[in-house]
Chain A
């Protein structure tokens, strides 16, 4: 069954909509009305006539037209009833923001079972419960409590932790990262990671899948689903230790903690495992705008030696090679740099950061068969113009050369102009070389998975 009703609904009911600004039912309705969503939005609450100048219905059953999606933010005691009404109404998808289910254990677990039973009986699909909602940046649908809509882009983000998910979504906005869907999965009572991977695999707006995972239930299905997806999948998995270990019988038992098993499973599934939030989105950014390289041989160009040494060290640490350029390439590059500067990879232009310098060197390096990917660094100085080298790289007509380029414009606010040009040109930019190289390593890893793991 399609999850389209949830991610691309034509009409939405907000059940538990509220006129008091401190209620989630208010926040969600406001977000939906203010984010540019084109479909119809219906507040539902028996206590109010209008909310936010919209006619309010006392039940979803009284909405005169079809409703694709219901976002439910009612007290738990009403949750089952309103879900049942949604079923009767013919609603296809539910986003259950209401909490107090299996995450509490005990009674909550039982109520969640009943909830799923209703969902299945009416052939609906459910995100949550205990979710902070779903965002579709392309359609302007903010069915969540995220404060503002991210910029539209190719990264879809699945997060198991609600509040962390919010913080992360905010953070991507700070970074100016383009997102497509943000899905807070909550308790995954009906729609889980496997369903979402299968949906996102088919979704034309999703280029990269980023996941924040605490646990996965259908482990084997998850591996199989991920193997079938050639889009890059990145995962930040937390919960590194498993408590309550029993007396261990075997060596393997003591060494195979859940974290080791997750690492193995991700590798088998062709999922890039990252260690922290910064890596998750740094890598997602690179993967969403650049192709995967055919190998791990990196070319580096910089107008300052220090930065290129840091980049080279990072490459070595992450298993990337700084390969020697062909003599012919070196000859061509020599003509573009001062006589005393070296034309060996990594290329140090000895301060030069003119348009012609960067344009020429990058072009020659891209054409060199010994190079699979480029890291282009610009270190800002007071006399420097960050726009020139940026424009120089962006202007290169890539033709049939599909080698990735990762940018690193260092120097904070002074580089803004250049960074903007890079961004508009589809080049991922990072403020320090290490982060640029980390992101590049993810591209290389993805290429390895495409060759070996992906079906």
Chain B
């Protein structure tokens, strides 16, 4: 009910740009998909029982050749089997390695008093350590989305601090207002994180996302 697949489809439905992700259930399939995607690729374990993949060796980045794909696949299966022997494994997910950019996180929470709330912050330490994030109650228009982006303390990083190119703020705004639209139509979403959304000089792309829906519905 809260599978990877659901959230990815939903994001695509609302024109939120996502980095394609393809499931492969055998080594042959893994190789075929990787070759057709083009290197480098990222491999992630696919299991309904594992939510924190990196903790159990379930994510391998920067895989550059068919040879490396084979090794990565075997290593991952061995490590995951060792660390969580009871987990059901239904293969791996493959994604082309995203070009480096600025990582941001955009999330959703259903608040008991105010309904859906969208959060914005820069990824990594800015969210985890400094809790440098901003919130708005939906519905959110583009002006409000811009305010919430500029409101975080680390926003100068997006504006191109220290001679770096500025990130595409409009692309982030677009994701926020599309999410807001999505929530109007999907009141059963309890939590959702796009983490990270990688932002470039032009465009932005969601690399990973998780969603929790209200199971009663």
- Taking Cβ atoms with an 8 Å cutoff, the residues of A that contact B are 215-217, 219-220, 223, 249-253, 255-256, 258, 260-265, 268
| Chain B residues whose C-beta falls within 8 Å of the C-beta of A256 in the assembled complex | 107, 109, 111, 117, 119, 135
- Inter-chain contact A220/B137, CB cutoff 8 Å: yes
Kindly identify which residue among A220, A251, A258, A264 contacts B193, using a CB–CB cutoff of 8 Å: A251
| Chain B residues whose C-beta falls within 8 Å of the C-beta of A219 in the assembled complex | 111, 113-115, 137
- Inter-chain contact A261/B114, CB cutoff 8 Å: yes
B193 to chain A, nearest CB (A): 4
Cα distance A220–B136 in the bound complex, in angstroms: 12
| Chain A residues whose C-beta falls within 8 Å of the C-beta of B212 in the assembled complex | 249-250, 253
| Chain B residues whose C-beta falls within 8 Å of the C-beta of A263 in the assembled complex | 135
Can you list 14 pairs linking A and B with CB atoms under 8 Å apart? Answer: A219-B115, A249-B212, A252-B109, A252-B191, A252-B192, A253-B191, A255-B131, A255-B133, A256-B117, A260-B133, A261-B135, A263-B135, A265-B114, A268-B136
A sample of 9 more A-B contacts (CB under 8 A), given A250-B195, A260-B135, is A219-B113, A219-B114, A250-B212, A251-B107, A252-B192, A255-B107, A255-B131, A256-B107, A265-B137
Closest 4 CB pairs of A and B: A252-B107, A219-B114, A264-B135, A219-B113
B19 to chain A, nearest CB (A): 19
Chain B 171-199 interface 0/1 with A at a Cβ cutoff of 8 Å (1 = within): 00000000000000000001111010000
| Chain B residues whose C-beta falls within 8 Å of the C-beta of A252 in the assembled complex | 105, 107-109, 119, 191-193
Least CB separation from B127: chain A residue: A251
A435 to chain B, nearest CB (A): 26
Which of A252, A253, A255, A262 counts the most B-chain CB atoms under 10 A from its CB? A252
**Chain A CB within 8 A of B144 CB:** yes
Kindly identify which residue among A216, A253, A260 contacts B113, using a CB–CB cutoff of 8 Å: A216
**Chain A CB within 8 A of B210 CB:** yes
**Chain A CB within 8 A of B65 CB:** no
Q: A219-B113, A252-B191, A255-B119 are in contact. Are A264 and B134 (CB under 8 A)?
A: yes
Least CB separation from A453: chain B residue: B144
Which of A220, A260, A262, A264 counts the most B-chain CB atoms under 10 A from its CB? A264
B60 to chain A, nearest CB (A): 22
Kindly identify which residue among A215, A250, A261 contacts B192, using a CB–CB cutoff of 8 Å: A250
- Inter-chain contact B193/A268, CB cutoff 8 Å: no
Cα distance A253–B116 in the bound complex, in angstroms: 11
- Total interface residues on B, CB under 8 Å, equals 29
- Inter-chain contact A255/B127, CB cutoff 8 Å: yes
| Chain B residues whose C-beta falls within 8 Å of the C-beta of A249 in the assembled complex | 51, 190-191, 210, 212
- Inter-chain contact B137/A253, CB cutoff 8 Å: no
| Chain B residues whose C-beta falls within 8 Å of the C-beta of A261 in the assembled complex | 109, 111, 113-114, 117, 135, 137
Cα distance A219–B110 in the bound complex, in angstroms: 12
Chain B 108-130 interface 0/1 with A at a Cβ cutoff of 8 Å (1 = within): 11011111010101000001100
Least CB separation from B195: chain A residue: A251
Cα distance A256–B125 in the bound complex, in angstroms: 17
- Inter-chain contact A268/B144, CB cutoff 8 Å: yes
Q: A250-B210, A252-B107 are in contact. Are A258 and B119 (CB under 8 A)?
A: no
Cα distance A61–B113 in the bound complex, in angstroms: 40
Cα distance A255–B123 in the bound complex, in angstroms: 13
Cα distance A256–B210 in the bound complex, in angstroms: 16
A262 to chain B, nearest CB (A): 8
Cα distance A261–B117 in the bound complex, in angstroms: 7
| Chain B residues whose C-beta falls within 8 Å of the C-beta of A250 in the assembled complex | 107, 109, 191-193, 195, 210, 212
| Chain A residues whose C-beta falls within 8 Å of the C-beta of B117 in the assembled complex | 256, 261, 264
| Chain B residues whose C-beta falls within 8 Å of the C-beta of A260 in the assembled complex | 133, 135
| Chain B residues whose C-beta falls within 8 Å of the C-beta of A253 in the assembled complex | 107, 109, 191, 212
Which of B109, B111, B193, B212 counts the most A-chain CB atoms under 10 A from its CB? B109
Q: A249-B210, A250-B210, A252-B193 are in contact. Are A258 and B109 (CB under 8 A)?
A: no
Cα distance A116–B102 in the bound complex, in angstroms: 54
Least CB separation from A242: chain B residue: B112
| Chain A residues whose C-beta falls within 8 Å of the C-beta of B112 in the assembled complex | 258
| Chain A residues whose C-beta falls within 8 Å of the C-beta of B115 in the assembled complex | 219-220
| Chain B residues whose C-beta falls within 8 Å of the C-beta of A217 in the assembled complex | 113
Least CB separation from B109: chain A residue: A256
Q: A251-B107, A252-B108, A252-B192 are in contact. Are A215 and B113 (CB under 8 A)?
A: yes
B179 to chain A, nearest CB (A): 11
Cα distance A260–B132 in the bound complex, in angstroms: 12
- Inter-chain contact B105/A258, CB cutoff 8 Å: no
Q: A252-B193, A256-B119 are in contact. Are A223 and B113 (CB under 8 A)?
A: no
B215 to chain A, nearest CB (A): 12
Least CB separation from B108: chain A residue: A252
- Inter-chain contact B137/A264, CB cutoff 8 Å: yes
Cα distance A256–B112 in the bound complex, in angstroms: 12
Chain B 42-65 interface 0/1 with A at a Cβ cutoff of 8 Å (1 = within): 000000000100000000000000
A193 to chain B, nearest CB (A): 11
Cα distance A265–B134 in the bound complex, in angstroms: 11
Cα distance A265–B111 in the bound complex, in angstroms: 11
Cα distance A299–B210 in the bound complex, in angstroms: 51
Least CB separation from A263: chain B residue: B135
Cα distance A263–B137 in the bound complex, in angstroms: 10
A35 to chain B, nearest CB (A): 36
Cα distance A252–B51 in the bound complex, in angstroms: 16
- Inter-chain contact B114/A220, CB cutoff 8 Å: yes
Cα distance A349–B148 in the bound complex, in angstroms: 43
Least CB separation from B119: chain A residue: A252
A222 to chain B, nearest CB (A): 8
Chain B residues 135-150 with CB under 8 Å of chain A are 135-137, 144
A390 to chain B, nearest CB (A): 40
| Chain B residues whose C-beta falls within 8 Å of the C-beta of A251 in the assembled complex | 105, 107, 119, 127-128, 193, 195
Kindly identify which residue among B113, B131, B136 contacts A258, using a CB–CB cutoff of 8 Å: B113
Cα distance A132–B178 in the bound complex, in angstroms: 46
| Chain A residues whose C-beta falls within 8 Å of the C-beta of B105 in the assembled complex | 251-252
